[in-house]
Amino acid sequence: MRRTSIFLKSWVLLTFLTVAIMTLMYIGHAIISVNSIEDTYNKLLQEKITAYKDTIMSDPEAYLKQAETAQSLDPELSYYIKMGDQSRFTVQNPELQGQSELLLENILANDQILDAIDSNVDDFSRITVEDEENNPLLLMVFVHTFELQGQTGMLVIGYELDEFQAYELNAKSITLLLLTVYLMGTIIYYQHLIRNVAEPLGIMTDIAFKYSRNDFSKRITFEAYDEISGLGTAMNKLGKTLQATTLMNREERELLNHLFDSLPAGILYFDQTFHLKLVNGPGQAFLDFWRRVDPDAETKAIPHQFKEMVEHAFSTTDGSEADFSWSQRHYNVKVTPVIQTDLQKTAGVLIVLQDVTNERQLDIIRGDFITNVSHDLRTPLQMIKGYSEAIIDNIAESNDEKIEMAQIILDETTEMNKMVNNLLDLSRMQAGYVDLNRQNVDLAVFFNHLSGRFENSFKEAAIQFTYELADGIKTCPFDEEKMNQVFYNLIDNAVRYSGEIGTRRQKFIHITVRLDDMLDKVVFEVSDNGIGIQAESLPFIFERFYKNDKSRTYSKQKGTGIGLSIVKTIVEAHDGEIEVHSEPGVGTTFLIRFPFRAG
């Protein structure tokens, strides 16, 4: 497509308008000159009319009576003379002679002529009258009053200005035409600028604002190919480039945000005014946790420990690392300044939070496990060694004593074997080797069997054991052997932590089985009124090797602390979930929920 220049078009139109206005100025100057010429012409014409007046007044009776005397006058001249009762109106122009009466009537009816007649003063007037076809007729009229032979007379001389009138009308017409052409040209030029400059620029402005809002749905189209369309084409290409770049940046930003939020460590970024500018999910979780556990959090933007490290980073541009604890949770905190290389100053500080609670707890649990296993194995091993030496050294004098000692050795060996089997079972189940043999188990028979296993323990601890099955729940599909292990551990823990005899009026362990209609799950609820569990221990009681009473206050608490870990693993293998509620000195309740399977 051939390229046209909008500036060339504008130059042509502007040149045309300039020529038009110069022509108007020239005509205006000509009109001014015409006015000057007109004044001169009027003076000469008045002198000429005065000369005609003198000629007529030299013998007014002759001009009043005989028309031949007026033949020496100009064809444009007409006169009206009146003396006494006699009057005569003579028109020299042959084309107007047939309209003499109408012309005389119109002349004498003119206000200027009437004023001149009434004033009795010689006067020149420039008037316009109409002929019988209503065409305007421009006249220079002279009014002269006189007295002759005792009679009052009046002479009215009219001189046609038709040529001058035609010239004036032509000048006005040309001026009006040129003015009209000039106005049309300005309108066309304005429309040209609107259509070819303003509207495209407005469209491009709107599209540029849309681009700024990442809206690339609009494109610019042009009918012509000029500088403005070239700019529009460049904007279209810019829009495509911005759209591709924005899409790429959005994908990269989403990827970075996803990676940022997926980091296991908490990230906090603070500017120089300690305003939090950036935070990921774990970082926000830490702030929520800190605001819950710190009573003064509402008056602080960040923990005071962080503020000291951040101030140090801003003042020295050095990073630092420290460990902090809040409400049994432990964090490793690293503070790194973000340096602007071009300005050589610290723009902000990056805080990386690593929750090391589990690692610390595992370290504690490992230490406790070694201590517990050492303690739990030392006592039975010493008893086995002592009774074995007594049998070998014949300290036991009778067979009954030897049998009693052998029974003690067997009991301790059985307890140790149970401990080792529990460890092996936990390792195997947590490695994913859990084989379930699901079948509908009669719950009444199941709990009666459990009660029989703990009959002696219930009597020794003075515990009342009861269970209750809700209507419609008589059986439940699960692995009977493994679930027997689950409830055995829960009841065994309840017996161990039941407290000393006499500390309560009546100790109990109660099991309730019910259906949660809202969740469509079967709920097993194991409750007791034992010594309870400390609040700080609740989050960790299902961890391996964790024991609630590390001081071993209750001597009858044996074991390695893996019973509840085994319980949790078996419950989750059945697609269930377990939770615990406890209050020290009031009691503990374990809730086990399984998906309900009718049948």
Which fold would CATH assign to domain 360-428? Helix Hairpins (1.10.287)
* Residue-level pLDDT at 578: 92
Strand partners, 267: 352
Please name which of 67, 92, 89, 87 lies closest in space to residue 160, comparing C-alpha atoms: 92
Which fold would CATH assign to domain 435-595? Heat Shock Protein 90 (3.30.565)
Q: Is 2 helix (H, G, I), strand (E, B) or coil?
A: coil
Quick check: 162 and 139 in contact, CB under 8 A?
Answer: no
What CA–CA distance (Å, rounded) separates 263 from 133? 104
Mean pLDDT of 193-219: 79
Confidence of residue 590 (pLDDT cuts 50, 70, 90): very high
Confidence of residue 166 (pLDDT cuts 50, 70, 90): low
CATH 3.30.450.20 spans which residues of the chain? 59-160, 263-355
Residues of the chain above pLDDT 90, percent: 7
* Residue-level pLDDT at 376: 64
For the cut 90, the answer to whether the pLDDT of residue 164 exceeds it is no
* Residue-level pLDDT at 555: 41
Mean pLDDT of 395-409: 78
Mean pLDDT of 383-412: 78
Give pLDDT tens digits for 571-587. 888 889 999 999 888 89
Highest mean pLDDT among 91-100, 211-220, 438-447: 438-447
Please name which of 568, 563, 570, 595 lies closest in space to residue 579, comparing C-alpha atoms: 568
Confidence of residue 501 (pLDDT cuts 50, 70, 90): low
* Residue-level pLDDT at 557: 47
* Residue-level pLDDT at 60: 80
For the cut 50, the answer to whether the pLDDT of residue 556 exceeds it is no
263-355 CATH = 3.30.450.20
For the cut 80, the answer to whether the pLDDT of residue 109 exceeds it is yes
Quick check: 516 and 530 in contact, CB under 8 A?
Answer: no
Of 151-160, 263-272, 378-387, 551-560, least confident by mean pLDDT is 551-560
**Arithmetic mean of pLDDT over the chain:** 77
For the cut 90, the answer to whether the pLDDT of residue 256 exceeds it is no
Please count the other Cβ atoms lying within 10 Å of the Cβ belonging to residue 213: 7
Quick check: 408 and 415 in contact, CB under 8 A?
Answer: no
Confidence of residue 3 (pLDDT cuts 50, 70, 90): very low
Q: Is 135 helix (H, G, I), strand (E, B) or coil?
A: coil
CA 508 to chain centre: 60
Highest mean pLDDT among 102-116, 265-279, 444-458, 542-556: 444-458
* Residue-level pLDDT at 512: 94
What CA–CA distance (Å, rounded) separates 31 from 35? 6
* Residue-level pLDDT at 561: 67
* Residue-level pLDDT at 1: 41
Mean pLDDT of 517-535: 88
- For the whole model, what pTM was predicted? 0.41
Mean pLDDT of 69-81: 70
For the cut 70, the answer to whether the pLDDT of residue 106 exceeds it is yes
| Dihedral (Cα; 69, 75, 77, 82), 10-degree rounding | 30
Strand partners, 147: 152
Confidence of residue 350 (pLDDT cuts 50, 70, 90): confident
Mean pLDDT of 180-188: 77
What CA–CA distance (Å, rounded) separates 525 from 578? 10
Mean pLDDT of 91-99: 75
Mean pLDDT of 61-80: 70
CA 198 to chain centre: 31
What CA–CA distance (Å, rounded) separates 91 from 213? 86
* Residue-level pLDDT at 241: 84
Mean pLDDT of 283-312: 78
Residue pointed to by tokens 């000692």: 405
CA separation, residue 335 to residues 84, 312, 343, 347, 353 (Å): 130, 9, 21, 14, 9
Please count the other Cβ atoms lying within 10 Å of the Cβ belonging to residue 529: 20
Edge to edge, what strands does the sheet with 463-469 contain? 463-469, 507-516, 521-528, 587-595, 577-583
Give pLDDT tens digits for 467-481. 999 988 889 999 888
For the cut 80, the answer to whether the pLDDT of residue 12 exceeds it is no
CATH 3.30.565.10 spans which residues of the chain? 435-595
Mean pLDDT of 73-92: 78
CA 100 to chain centre: 90
Please count the other Cβ atoms lying within 10 Å of the Cβ belonging to residue 146: 16
Mean pLDDT of 381-394: 78
For the cut 50, the answer to whether the pLDDT of residue 554 exceeds it is no
What CA–CA distance (Å, rounded) separates 164 from 221? 58
Of 130-134, 183-187, 298-302, 524-528, least confident by mean pLDDT is 298-302
Residue pointed to by tokens 């076809």: 133
* Residue-level pLDDT at 94: 76
Please name which of 448, 403, 274, 405 lies closest in space to residue 348, comparing C-alpha atoms: 274
Residue 278 tokens read as 């950036």
Pairing of strands 463-469, 507-516: parallel
DSSP code per residue over 120-131: TS-EEEEEEEE-
Q: Which amino acid is at 373?
A: V
* Residue-level pLDDT at 35: 61
* Residue-level pLDDT at 465: 92
* Residue-level pLDDT at 92: 74
Please name which of 109, 68, 75, 110 lies closest in space to residue 91, comparing C-alpha atoms: 75
Confidence of residue 410 (pLDDT cuts 50, 70, 90): confident
The structural architecture, per CATH, of the domain 59-160 is 2-Layer Sandwich (3.30)
Burial code (b: 16+ CB inside 10 Å, e: under 16) for 96-126 equals beebeeebbebbbebeebeebeeeeeebbbe
Mean pLDDT of 454-463: 88
* Residue-level pLDDT at 502: 52
Quick check: 316 and 300 in contact, CB under 8 A?
Answer: no
Confidence of residue 413 (pLDDT cuts 50, 70, 90): confident
DSSP code per residue over 337-406: EEEETTTTEEEEEEEEEEE-HHHHHHHHHHHHHHHHHHHHHHHHHHHHHHHHHHHHTT---SHHHHHHHH
Q: End-to-end CA distance of the chain: give it in Å, rounded.
A: 82
Higher-confidence residue: 329 or 495? Answer: 495
Mean pLDDT of 123-144: 81
Give pLDDT tens digits for 427-454. 666 666 667 788 899 999 999 998 888 8
Mean pLDDT of 141-157: 82
For the cut 70, the answer to whether the pLDDT of residue 139 exceeds it is yes
Hey, CA dihedral for 521, 522, 525, 526, is it positive or negative?
negative
Higher-confidence residue: 461 or 424? Answer: 461
* Residue-level pLDDT at 553: 43
* Residue-level pLDDT at 591: 93
* Residue-level pLDDT at 66: 64
Mean pLDDT of 509-517: 90
* Residue-level pLDDT at 423: 67
